[in-house]
A and B are shown apart, each in its own frame.
Chain A
Amino acid sequence: MISKRIIPCLDVKDGRVVKGVNFKGLNDVSSPVELARYYSENGADELVFYDITASAEGRKLFTDILVESASQIFIPLTVGGGINTVDDFDRVLKCGADKVSVNSGAIKNPNLIYEAAKKYGSQCVVISADVKRVDGKFTVFAKGGRENTGLDALKWIKKCVDLGAGEVVLNSIDTDGVKQGFDLEMLEAVCELVNVPVIASGGAGKESDFIELFKTLPKVDAGLAASIFHFGEVQIPHLKETLAKENILVRR
């Protein structure tokens, strides 16, 4: 059967990884290529590169990094950030991305999902949703969690999947950064709603959070995190050993 995926996310700004990292054996801790290679050799099942650059120069640097990574890292690569048009899909796919994740760009123009899925296939289109409870309702936020769109998150995610999105990254703003575990309530609501892979994001602080995630919600396909991996608080090979001991299927 398919194993549960562990996915580190690299936020890249102006060609460097943001959020410090402290790995032994890494000469340049803010080099996205070095960090990506480190992860791919140390148990990551997939990598997400998130482009948080605003400038055109930064964007060029980002695609250069993507090309360099994709020429030496042979696991699936997902790219997000600044994806607003089908041309943006084309740009990153040509640089070696396998999947492209859309967020604010799809909120502005939901048809982007349909157009991209038609051209590249659903397996290529990932909807990334930043969700927060507002008056007890799951609500979609845009622009990196800064702007309340007023959209009902469950309706929005269902709509994206109906338009052709082949995977959902659910990032809970409520649990993000708190390190007290994934947002199981929110994840369960989404898993009940769609029949495409769901990736949990936001809230992981320790190994047991991943055990709890996969045990409580067997429908969740993957766990994504950034700083706990970057800071070495959770080491992926050790995490996978722990998950395997708990009879959770992982690639080793």
Chain B
Amino acid sequence: MIAIVDYGVGNLFSLKSSFSFIGEDVVVTGDADTIRKSDKIILPGVGAFEDAARKLKESGLGTVVMEEAKKGKPLLGICLGMQLLFEKSYEFGTHEGLGLIKGEIIPIKNTTGTLKIPHMGWNNLIFPKNRPVCPIFKYIKEGDSVYFVHSFYGASCDKSVAALAEYGELLTAAVWDGNVYGTQFHPEKSGKVGLNILKAFCEL
């Protein structure tokens, strides 16, 4: 069973539907025991880092997610959920994340001043050359498009980068370290490519 962690952030309708659509047993839950009993964990999130990090901490669910991930259970953070896996974020101040992925969250630079922020829309994935293809990408290929909506991104995480996307600079599109995975984009909004990523995660 897949547990989507419900800590009061964002709309989980599409995410839940996408797992149901590919035939997975999925539950949206804020219950620690249910998360502990699950086979795999999804950490979703939209909105501001500080607010989400606080809710995750206050609900005690952040600790549960960390404990389960450290036991080796597959964990996938999506969008802000991915950013929360990092050590810290500089989104409107400095805030601590779960620290499961080494690195930090910083604003998209927009050095030329011509980019529209947020980075919103379909962008194609670039796979790093120095690592094998990430297991959750086994059913897709480099160059496939996925759907992004974000203004901040993961940096200083070279060893964990599983995919990049070009937007003025190279942005971290996905991370992978052991059993911990994260996508900056929304697989549940990325059509067949996205469903194939979720399917591969379920098969881990």
Q: Which A residues contact B (CB, under 8 angstroms)?
A: 1-3, 5, 40, 45, 70-72, 74-76, 93-96, 98, 121-123, 166-167, 195-197, 221, 251-252
Known: A45-B121, A76-B147. 8 other contacts (CB 8 A): A2-B167, A3-B121, A3-B145, A5-B121, A74-B188, A74-B190, A121-B47, A166-B118
> Is B11 interfacial (CB 8 A cutoff)?
yes
In the complex, 7 of the A-B residue pairs with CB atoms within 8 angstroms, ordered by the A residue number, are: A2-B120, A71-B21, A94-B11, A166-B120, A195-B116, A196-B116, A251-B124
Residue of A whose beta carbon sits closest to that of B15: A74
Question: Which of B95-120 touch A at CB < 8 Å?
Answer: 116-120
Task: Tell me which residues across on chain A come within 8 A of B18, comparing CB atoms.
Answer: 74
CA distance A221 to B119 in the complex (A): 12
| Chain B binding surface SS class | mixed
CA distance A196 to B119 in the complex (A): 10
Task: Tell me which residues across on chain A come within 8 A of B122, comparing CB atoms.
Answer: 2-3, 5, 45, 251
Known: A74-B190, A75-B189. A3 touches B116 (CB 8 A): no
> Is B161 interfacial (CB 8 A cutoff)?
no
| Chain A binding surface SS class | loop
> Is B64 interfacial (CB 8 A cutoff)?
no
Tell me if B121 and A98 are in contact (CB < 8 A).
no
How many residues in B have their beta carbons less than 8 Å from beta carbons of A?
Answer: 29
Task: Tell me which residues across on chain A come within 8 A of B38, comparing CB atoms.
Answer: none
Tell me if A98 and B189 are in contact (CB < 8 A).
yes
Tell me if B11 and A121 are in contact (CB < 8 A).
no
Tell me if A96 and B149 are in contact (CB < 8 A).
no
Closest chain A CB from B185 CB (angstroms): 12
> Is B195 interfacial (CB 8 A cutoff)?
yes
Residue of B whose beta carbon sits closest to that of A123: B149
> Is B177 interfacial (CB 8 A cutoff)?
no
Q: List 5 tightest A-B contacts by C-beta distance, closest first.
A: A251-B145, A2-B121, A71-B17, A251-B122, A96-B13
Tell me if A74 and B194 are in contact (CB < 8 A).
yes
Known: A121-B46, A123-B149. A197 touches B120 (CB 8 A): yes
Residue of A whose beta carbon sits closest to that of B147: A76
Tell me if B118 and A95 are in contact (CB < 8 A).
no
Q: Beta-carbon contacts of B8-48 to A below 8 Å, as 1s and 0s?
A: 00010110011011000000000000000000000000110
Closest chain A CB from B139 CB (angstroms): 15
Residue of A whose beta carbon sits closest to that of B143: A252
CA distance A71 to B18 in the complex (A): 7
> Is B166 interfacial (CB 8 A cutoff)?
yes
Q: Beta-carbon contacts of B145-168 to A below 8 Å, as 1s and 0s?
A: 101010000000000000000110
Closest chain A CB from B116 CB (angstroms): 6
Tell me if A123 and B118 are in contact (CB < 8 A).
yes
Closest chain A CB from B32 CB (angstroms): 25
CB within 8 A of B20: which of A3, A71, A166? A71
Tell me if B14 and A96 are in contact (CB < 8 A).
yes
Closest chain B CB from A120 CB (angstroms): 8
